[in-house]
Chains A and B, each alone.
Chain A
Amino acid sequence: MKKLVLVVLLSMLLVFAFGKTKITFWGFMLDDESSAKILGEFMKENPDIEVEYVQLAWSNGFDKIVTSIAANNAPDVVELGNTWVANFASQDAILKMDNYASKVKDKYFGWDSVAYNDHYWALPWLLGTRALFFNLDLFEKAGLDPNNPPETWEELYDAAQKIDSLGDDIYGFGMCAGENFSPWQQWFLPAVWGNEASILSKDMKKSLLYSTKVIETAKFYQALSKYSLKTKQADLAKAFGEGKLGMYVSGAWDISGIESNYPNILFDVALLPKPNKWSGYHASFAGAEVLAVTKQAKNKEAALKLIEYLLRSDVAMQVTKLVPSVFPSVVGADKDPWFEDHPMHQVFYEQNKYAKPAPSHPQWFKIQQYLTEAIEKIVLENGDVENTLRYYNLKIQQLLNH
C-alpha cells in the first residue's frame, strides 16, 4: 500500500514538473517589460505552455540565430527580418508554413515578405515602411506650398532645386550613401519599383539592372543628387532636425526621434512621389518582422499557438504603441483609435499598402551590395549611369548563374 502511494505521488510530481510544454522565443521587438506583459497574458490563456523569451539586438542578433542553428540549439519561435527569410529557407533551417498560411491569407498583409520558392516560410507580424519627410518652414521659404508636398518625381526635383538654392548649407533632398543597406532601401530600389520596373526577373534568373526603366530611374536619381545631401541615414536625420534639409526618405522611427531631439522643427510626412501623374505608383520599401518556426523546434504546435497569439490585432497593436515604427500586419488594424491621435503614423500605415520587400533570393545579401556600389558610383562619384548599370548588371547576372 505504501509503495502504491509513493508511486502515485511520484507520478503526480512528474506530471507537475514536466506537464508544461516549454518553448523558447527569440525576438528583437519586445523588451523585458513588454515581453513579460505580452507573453504573460499568453501563458495565462495557455496554462500548459511556458514561454522563455530572449531579446536579441540588431547588431548581433542575426549571428546569434545562425550560431544557435549551427549548434543544433535553435529556439522554437524566432523573429526574423524579412530580408533573411530566403537565406534561412534555402538552408532548410525554418519550417514551411503553407498549410497555416492558406487558412489565414486574407486576414494579413505582407505575404510577399515571407515567400520564397513558391512557399511561405514564416508569418508576417509587423510591417514597417518609409515615407517622405518634409520641412514646412523650408517649403515656405522656397515659395512652395507646404500643404501640397511633391507627388511626382518632377515636383520633387523642382522642390529640391528651389530649397537647395536657399543657402550653402541648405540641401533640397537627402540621399543615403556610405552605408550597406540604406542607399538602395531609401529610396533607389523603391523608385525603380514605382517606375513599374524591377532589378530581377520574376523567376529571379535574370538581372534587369541594365534596362530602360532602371536607367531612367538612375538618371533621375543622379540629377536629384545634385541638390542633395549625400550621407549616412543618421546624418540625414540630424541635418533634417537642424533645419538644413528640405526632404528625405525615412521610416516612422524618425517621427518621435525628431520630435524629441528637435522640438522646434515643423515637419510633416507624405507618400513617396511616383514617376508622374499618369503612370507608376508610390512604391516604398517594406521592412517586416516575421515569425518563423525553426526546423529544430521541439514543440511545433505550441510554437504555432504562440505565433497565432502574437499576430492578433490587439497583441500586435500593443507592440506598435511601444515601437511606433512598425504596424500590425492584420487587415484593418488602422481602425484602432490610436491612429487618430497619430496622423503621421496613419500616413505610414497608408504607405504600407504600396510597400514591397526586397526580392526573396538567397544571394540577396551579395546582390544588394552590388546595388549599393552601383548607386554610390552614380551619386557620389557622378559615374556614367549606363556604363555603371551595365557593369553591375553583369556582376549580378554572374551571381544568379551560379
Chain B
Amino acid sequence: MKKHKKYNIETLILLSPFLIIFLIFGVFPIVYSFFMSFTDYSGINPHYNFIGLSNYIRAFHDEVFLIALKNTFIFVLGTIPFTTTFSLLLALLINSKYLPLKDLFKAGFFLPSVISMVVISTIWTYLYSANGFFNNMMKLFGMNALGTSWLASTKTALLSIMIMDIWAAIGYYTILFLAGLQGIPNEVYEAASIDGASKKQIFFNITLPLLKPTLFFIISLNTIRSFQIFAEIFTMTGGGPSNSTQTVVHYLYQTSFRQFDMGYASALAYILMAIIMFFTIIQKRLLRSDI
C-alpha cells in the first residue's frame, strides 16, 4: 500500500511539467472562458460586467447564429455519411488482394490530410472560380455554367465547401479504416470461408461488426471536426454570400475578434460544446461496441 502511494507521487512529479503546462494553457482558458460567458467582456477593454445568462438567451434570438447553427448541421449531416462510406469503400479496395500499387493509392488518398486546409481551400477557390475548372467542365458537357464563382452564389456556396471537405477528409479516415481492417484476424475469415459463407455474409457478419470500434471512433472524430469547421469558411467565403456559409465557429470568431464581443463569443463556444457532447454521447449509445 505504502509503496503504491510513493509510486503515485513519483508519477506526479515526473508528469508535473506537462501537468503545469496543461493546467495553464488547457484547463485555465476553458474555465476562464466559461466564466467570461456570463459577462459582457469586450476582449480589449479590461472592464466588464456580470450579466448572468443574457449571452445564452441572446444567442437564441440572434438570427445569424441560428443561420450559422443550421448551416453547421447541414454541413455535418451532409458530409459525414459520404466521408464515412467513401473512406470505408476505399479502405476495402486498398485492402483487397487484387489491387496492385497499394502504397501509391494509400499515399495518394492520404495526401490531402498532410496539406494545410488553408492551402487546399485556396486551390479549390481557383477551381470554383468564375472561369475555373468546374465552370469549364460544365461548359464542356454542354451545361449552363454558373457565370459566377461557385462560392459567390447563395445556392452553391455551402455545397461547394462540403464537396471539397469530403474530398479532403476521405484519405485520413481511409487510413484509419485500413488499420481497423488489418486488425481483424485472418483466422476468422478462413473459418468463415471453410463454413462456406458468401462474400456478402462475410462483410456484414464479420467485417462490419468487428469494425464497430473503428467506425465509432471515425464517426465521432468526424462529427467533432465537422462541427468545428472554420479554416475552409475563413479562407473561401468569409461566411458569405448572405451568410449562406456562416458556421458556428466562424461566427464566434467574428463576434470575438471583429466585433469585440468576447463574452458573447464564449457563450456561443459553450453552446457548441454542449451540442457536440450531446451528439458524441448519442453516437456512443448507438454504436456501442459489445466486443
Residues of A within 8 A of B (CB): 62-63, 66, 69-70, 72, 87-88, 91-93, 169, 177-180, 229-232, 234-235, 238-239, 242, 244, 362-363, 365-366, 369, 372-373, 376-377, 380-381
Contacts and interface: CB of A to CB of B under 8 A. Distances in A.
Contacts of B258: 62, 365
8 contacts: A70-B44, A178-B151, A178-B152, A179-B152, A180-B238, A235-B152, A376-B240, A380-B241
Contacts of A231: 129-130, 148-149, 152
A229 B148 contact: yes
Contacts of A381: 154
Contacts, number: 97
B131 A178 contact: no
B130 A229 contact: yes
A177 B148 contact: yes
B146 to A, nearest CB: 9
Nearest to A65: B44
Given A69-B44, A232-B151, A232-B152, 6 more contacts: A62-B257, A177-B241, A230-B147, A238-B131, A377-B242, A380-B153
Given A69-B44, A92-B45, A87 B131 contact: no
Contact of B44 (A88, A232, A244): A88
A102 to B, nearest CB: 27
Contacts of B257: 62-63, 66
B259 interface: yes
B263 interface: no
B243 interface: yes
Contact of A70 (B43, B130, B239, B242): B43
B130 A239 contact: yes
Interface in B200-252: 237-243
B174 interface: no
A297 B21 CA distance: 30
B260 interface: yes
Contacts of B169: none
A123 to B, nearest CB: 21
Interface in B8-64: 42-46
A383 B124 CA distance: 29
Contact of B148 (A63, A230, A244, A362): A230
B157 interface: yes
Contacts of B238: 179-180
A366 B261 CA distance: 12
Contact of B129 (A92, A180, A232, A366): A232
Nearest to B146: A231
The dominant DSSP class at the B interface is loop
Interface in B109-145: 129-131
Given A177-B148, A230-B148, A376 B44 contact: no
A179 B130 CA distance: 14
Contacts of A363: 259
Interface in B239-291: 239-243, 254, 257-260, 262
Contacts of A179: 152, 237-238, 240-241
B149 A235 contact: yes
Contact of B259 (A63, A88, A169, A365): A365
A372 B241 CA distance: 8
Contacts of B153: 178, 380
A178 B237 contact: yes
Q: Most A CB atoms within 10 A — which of B42, B149, B153, B239?
A: B149
B241 A235 contact: no
Contacts of B237: 178-179
Nearest to A88: B44
A72 B105 CA distance: 51
A140 B109 CA distance: 50
A177 B46 CA distance: 37
List of 6 A-B pairs having minimum Cβ-Cβ separation, nearest first: A178-B152, A180-B238, A231-B130, A231-B148, A235-B130, A69-B44
A256 to B, nearest CB: 20
Contacts of A169: 131
B259 A235 contact: no
B241 A229 contact: no
B129 A238 contact: yes
Interface string B145-173: 00111011110010000000000000000
Contact of A87 (B46, B154, B243, B260): B260
Contacts of B242: 372-373, 376-377, 380
B73 to A, nearest CB: 21
A178 B260 contact: no
B156 to A, nearest CB: 10
Contacts of A366: 259
Contacts of A235: 129-131, 148-149, 152
B147 to A, nearest CB: 7
A381 B154 CA distance: 8
Given A235-B129, A366-B259, A178 B149 contact: yes
B44 A380 contact: no
Contacts of B259: 363, 365-366
Given A232-B129, A366-B259, A380-B154, A91 B149 contact: no
Given A239-B130, A376-B242, A178 B43 contact: no
B66 to A, nearest CB: 14
Given A231-B152, A373-B242, A178 B157 contact: yes
B67 to A, nearest CB: 11
A69 B241 CA distance: 31
Contacts of B45: 91-93
Nearest to B118: A59
A232 B129 CA distance: 8
B249 to A, nearest CB: 14
B149 A376 contact: no
B188 to A, nearest CB: 51
Contacts of B239: 180
Nearest to B253: A63
A92 to B, nearest CB: 6
